[in-house]
Amino acid sequence: MEYAVLVDPAKCIGCRACQVACKRWNDLPGEVTTFSPEWTNPLKLSFNTFTHIKFKFEHNNETDEMKWRFFNWRCMHCKDPACAPACPVNAITKYEEGPVVVHTDRCIGCKFCVSACPFGIPQFDADTGKVSKCHMCYNRVPNKEPACVQSCPTDALIFGPREDIILKAKKRAQELNGHIYGDVEVKPLGGTSFIYVLDSDPSVFGLPNVGESVPATVSALKYSKFLLVPAAVGGLLYLVAWRKRRMEEKEE
């Protein structure tokens, strides 16, 4: 069965319990942080930070009201992820339950997935030469909900079968007079396993509109391994022929 998480920024209070729960479940170290004008802490996702609460200041032009918006950000776990086919060593797996997982032991640090992801999610670490990201708690799901979901005190994150989550998202979108993000805007990626209900434009939250067609760079990287393999085979054949010619020259 396929599962999903509903992300409801209108319910998020910015407490960062999800960030802490993710660190604890994955045994990830804390990071030295500095004050930022955006108040976020840490500033962004990293090799050791799989989920991040973004703070955005929203200004309503009609009422001139200002308000803080908080929301949880991490891998979207796309149904047809651009990162997985871009990986030349098959280090990224999309599971039928929903999670897209980087198998760090297989990662060679080429960063193709970093370039392929339209959301800027995979994080490269120069010390280990590896990439990491949220794995949708594939080592808990479906017996237990993801650690971040379990820790959320306001139900801004809800886990369940994807079909139920879609129904909940539609109902919530009606209540908020908002819309669902993770469907139309990300159509080239087949939808996502983290689905947002937004009561404002995606740009307020800094969410990209991936659009109707996969950008050319993403498309090229997505299928790059199909170019790399023939190139590698061609290179090998050239080397064999070159070596044979050198041996023949020596014998003459």
Which residue ranges make up the site for ligand SF4 (CB under 6 A)? 21-22, 25-26, 50-51, 74-78, 81-83, 86-87, 89, 91-92, 100, 102, 107-113, 117, 119, 121-122, 131, 133-137, 146-148, 189
CB of 150 vs ligand SF4, minimal distance in Å: 8
Token digits of residue 181 = 């993000």
CB of 57 vs ligand SF4, minimal distance in Å: 24
CB of 120 vs ligand SF4, minimal distance in Å: 8
Query: Among residues 75 and 173, whose Cβ is nearest to ligand SF4?
Result: 75
CB of 164 vs ligand SF4, minimal distance in Å: 18
CA-to-CA separations, 166 to 91, 110, 147, in angstroms, rounded = 29, 35, 21
Query: Among residues 109 and 176, whose Cβ is nearest to ligand SF4?
Result: 109
Query: Among residues 22 and 169, whose Cβ is nearest to ligand SF4?
Result: 22
Say which residue the tokens 């991936």 belong to.
210
CB of 243 vs ligand SF4, minimal distance in Å: 29
Query: Among residues 26 and 58, whose Cβ is nearest to ligand SF4?
Result: 26
Query: Among residues 58 and 202, whose Cβ is nearest to ligand SF4?
Result: 202
Token digits of residue 247 = 């041996």
Helix (H, G, I), strand (E, B) or coil at 58: strand
Query: Among residues 93 and 200, whose Cβ is nearest to ligand SF4?
Result: 93
Query: Among residues 211 and 243, whose Cβ is nearest to ligand SF4?
Result: 211
- Could you give the residue ranges of the DSSP H alpha helices within the chain? 17-26, 83-86, 112-116, 147-151, 162-176, 216-222, 224-251
**Cα-atom radius of gyration of the chain, to the nearest Å?**
22
Say which residue the tokens 């193709």 belong to.
112
Distance CA 147, CA 182 (A): 21
Distance CA 152, CA 87 (A): 33
CB 81 within 8 A of CB 92: yes
CB of 37 vs ligand SF4, minimal distance in Å: 25
Helix, strand, coil percentages, rounded to 5, for the chain? 35, 20, 45
Please state the φ and ψ torsions of residue 210, each to the nearest 5 degrees. -70, -20
Distance CA 51, CA 10 (A): 18
CB of 12 vs ligand SF4, minimal distance in Å: 14
